[in-house]
Structure 1
Amino acid sequence: MLRDESDSAEPTGSTVFKDERKQAYLNPEGADRPLISPVPATTLDRARHYRLERLRTTMREWDCGALLLYDPVNIRYAFDSSNMSIWTMHNAARYALILADGPAILFEFEGAEHVNDGLAGIDEIRPAKSWIFFTAGNLMESRLKAWADEVADLVSSHGSNRRVAVDRLEPAGAFELRERGFTLVDGQELAERARSIKSADEIELMRWTIRVCEAGMARMYEMSEPGRTEREIWAELHFENARSGGEWLETKLLTAGPRTNPWYQECSDYVIKRGEMISFDTDMIGPYGYCADLSRSWTAGHVAMTTKQKELYAAARDQIEHNLAILKPGMTFAEFNAQSWRIPEKYQPYRYTLALHGTGMADEWPGILLHPDFDPDFSGAIEEGMVLNVESLIAEAGSESIKLETQALITARGAERLDTFPWEEI
């Protein structure tokens, strides 16, 4: 239980409160040891099979002869193949081609073929033909044509369907494929619609990523003392994720005190003062490639909140609890918007525009905006098997920001929270 404290911007007293509820998320083997996943290999094998079949099923529904993937998140989803993911997000050096009536082929960065050993969904591995300027330079045009010829030959030799779904491709590559008679469709939409419905095995993998994230949050909580910098606290989440088999953090959203408002400032060397609010958004791509996207806010030194901090925090909790409670399968996006929590006018200039978003191997479709920003033409429905994140950011003129977020599975009965890291008691 948080101790009572005087209502001031700089709460007095030096007693450090450690919340046993949060300490419980640290590794029971000791904070000096990484977490070891208990998920059996059979779970991962079933998830891999399910994901590739989801893509193939969606390809058939879209009448596509092939799916060409460059986005490393989509490649991970299709094959569970991960190699230099951040680097290949901005260097198109590896790709995948899934044929509707043929093999699933991974074009791997030359010399790295062995990183895919044991991945049963890959029928063939070929060396990637890279035509990006970084490696091709003045040879870019000839390498581009060789790349396009190989893709065209593979698609043509496995059926007459010349509709190719592509998730991400430079204009020159799209031009070359169109020159060879192919119709290109939006492969990112195809992939995200396939990814939006999770299997039970995927949820088990995601639960483990959340477990690792919450252990990182517990480390952050322990470090949230006055005199620390924002970066020092943020590093604890990186550390726990990396040593427990995770991947990366998508953002650097941890700030304290006056730097919480406006939101979206990145963590810095700002030295945090006692009683200031520390607010963060994990955006963590963790073990098995799944995302744990959780937000919490607490005071530096773990002292009681001021009256204003309590007011803002209570509003953020109201938004989370209300929107979580109304979620159910079959609800349209417009129906959710109509029934969603109404943000008071004084908080609206500082609002977070998203009310909900999908989550899988990253933030994904659907991104449903807060009611002042919602477009009535945005169509779709919440479906069983989706994982949705419920968001809140509450601030007003001159105040700090409270950032809260929870991750929930949509079941036949409604929303089931996947994270359990405690809220602050006010």
Structure 2
Amino acid sequence: MTVFHDTKVDRRALRAWRLGRVREKLQERELAGILLYDPVNIRYATDTSNMQVWTMHNAVRYAFIATDGPVIVFDFHATKHLSEGIEVVDEIRGARSYFYFGDGPLMEDRAKQFAREIDDLVRTYGGNNRRLAIDKIEPHGLLALLKRGVLVENGQEVMELARFIKNDIEIAAMQEAVDACEAAMWRMREVFRPGITENYLWSILNQVNAELGGEWIETRLLTSGPRTNPWFRECNHRVIEAGDIMSFDTDLVGPGGYCSDLSRSWLCGGGKPSDEQRWLYETARRQIEDNIAMLKPGLSFREISERGSPLPEDCVGNRYSVVVHGVGLCDEYPAVPYIQDFAHSGYDGHLEENAVVCVESLVGRVGGRECIKLEEQVLITADGARRLSSFPFEDHWL
């Protein structure tokens, strides 16, 4: 069973719900089935995992889900036992790889073998329907499927829209991940002092997550002092000094495979923030609270972008990539950018009840010394946004 921690979540009910969501989207699009390579999508549909990070870049594991038929997990060498006991998995087979590390000059021949097996499944369970969704695939495999007449459709759309809406069981599972993340943040707070390195502080987050059954962290976004501005540097051996702002983004895949994506900024050394640090923090706090307050079912992504709390002019150039993004097993649909970016990177849609989103704020002057990074994870309810996180902000600065 793919559960590495003590849990009160009914995993059988969770699996039934998630597989049902996938098949609902397949039926809506009149697809014969879906082929999944992304380990996060495989986890969502089957609740099985195998070396998740390694299989993200080595195509040795995939799953076939018939719209009306079986769920078949194709697993890596001698690891069929990892999916045993998962009731939504009907069959376990050995995977056929066709990438250069594993197959060298035999890639093309092995891709043909792979395509023959998948084509047979589409014919068996799809009948005259040759339309198969695929989330991602190596070029040789795609070409081999197309040559056999399989009509390949966009599986990423299927999975992102399936994962968009949660039920109460999923929210309970996500809450376990958020609770583990906050336990790690409290441990970080205990050791946070002048003289430690960014790497050391980030390692505490990683350690506690693993200790509590978490799985991995997607980034190393923890920086201090002048390394916070501009954002997106990752932690290194810099020693954090008294008076530095330290900002971090958890990006944490916790217990049960669910993501806890929170951001906070702290002042090192226990003193008082400078006037500039206080202004940055007040601006970020106001922005994140205003943006949370407007969220509700039916609000369009364009409206979020247009109505989102604006940044001061000298901070616009340092704006974050999104105002709001979805979250589940990892960052998910939708991604809602600032209005300045909507024309070239935005798309429309609507928030729905039981979606979970993260609300982002990054505030730092262009050319300034530091940035404040804040982020909250919220559930969209009929009455608006309900926070899943409870870790405090530095409101005594305000």
Shorter-chain TM band: over 0.9
Comparing 116-125 and 204-213, the one that deviates more: 116-125
Partner of 1:319 in structure 2?
287
Distance 2:144 2:129 in 1: 17
Contact 2:98 2:140 survives alignment (8 Å): no
Which secondary structure does the structure 2 equivalent of 1:375 belong to? helix
Q: Does 1:417 align with 2:382?
A: no
Contact 1:44 1:205 survives alignment (8 Å): no
Contact 2:5 2:255 survives alignment (8 Å): no
Contact 2:262 2:376 survives alignment (8 Å): yes
Distance 2:359 2:6 in 1: 26
Distance 1:86 1:353 in 2: 24
Task: Report matched runs for 1:74-223 at 5 Å.
Answer: 74-158=41-125, 159-223=127-191
Q: Does 1:385 align with 2:354?
A: yes
Distance 2:52 2:5 in 1: 22
Task: Report matched runs for 1:23-422 at 5 Å.
Answer: 37-40=6-9, 43-158=10-125, 159-375=127-343, 378-396=347-365, 397-422=367-392
Partner of 1:9 in structure 2?
none
Deviation at 1:38, TM superposition (A): 4.5
Q: Residue 394 of structure 1 aligns to which amino acid in structure 2?
A: V
Contact 2:5 2:256 survives alignment (8 Å): no
Deviation at 1:225, TM superposition (A): 0.4
Deviations 1:225-255 (A, max 9, x none): 0000000000001001111111111001000
Distance 1:36 1:80 in 2: 14
Distance 2:155 2:110 in 1: 23
Deviation at 1:37, TM superposition (A): 3.7
Deviations 1:284-314 (A, max 9, x none): 0111000000000001123221111110000
Gaps of 5+ in 1: 1-34
Which secondary structure does the structure 1 equivalent of 2:93 belong to? strand
Deviation at 1:260, TM superposition (A): 0.5
Higher relative contact order by CA 8 Å / sep ≥ 6: 1 or 2? Answer: 1
Comparing 71-80 and 301-310, the one that deviates more: 301-310
Contact 2:198 2:240 survives alignment (8 Å): yes
Percent identity, please: 48
Distance 1:303 1:48 in 2: 49
Which secondary structure does the structure 1 equivalent of 2:189 belong to? helix
Distance 1:53 1:213 in 2: 29
Deviations 1:75-94 (A, max 9, x none): 00001101000000000000
Contact 1:272 1:300 survives alignment (8 Å): yes
Distance 1:256 1:382 in 2: 34
Q: Residue 362 of structure 2 aligns to which amino acid in structure 1?
A: L
Deviations 1:340-372 (A, max 9, x none): 101110111111121000000000110000122
Q: Residue 317 of structure 1 aligns to which amino acid in structure 2?
A: R
Comparing 281-290 and 174-183, the one that deviates more: 174-183
Distance 1:298 1:77 in 2: 34
Contact 1:342 1:371 survives alignment (8 Å): no
Bigger share in helix: 2
Distance 1:261 1:333 in 2: 28
Distance 1:276 1:258 in 2: 8
Structure 1 length-normalised TM:
0.90
Distance 2:102 2:32 in 1: 30
Which secondary structure does the structure 1 equivalent of 2:119 belong to? helix
Distance 1:38 1:113 in 2: 24
Distance 1:338 1:388 in 2: 17
Distance 1:97 1:243 in 2: 33
Deviations 1:124-176 (A, max 9, x none): 00010111111111221211111100000111011221000000011221111
Distance 2:164 2:137 in 1: 22
Q: Residue 49 of structure 1 aligns to which amino acid in structure 2?
A: A
Structure 2 length-normalised TM:
0.96
How many corresponding residue pairs?
Answer: 390
RMSD, aligned α-carbons: 1.3
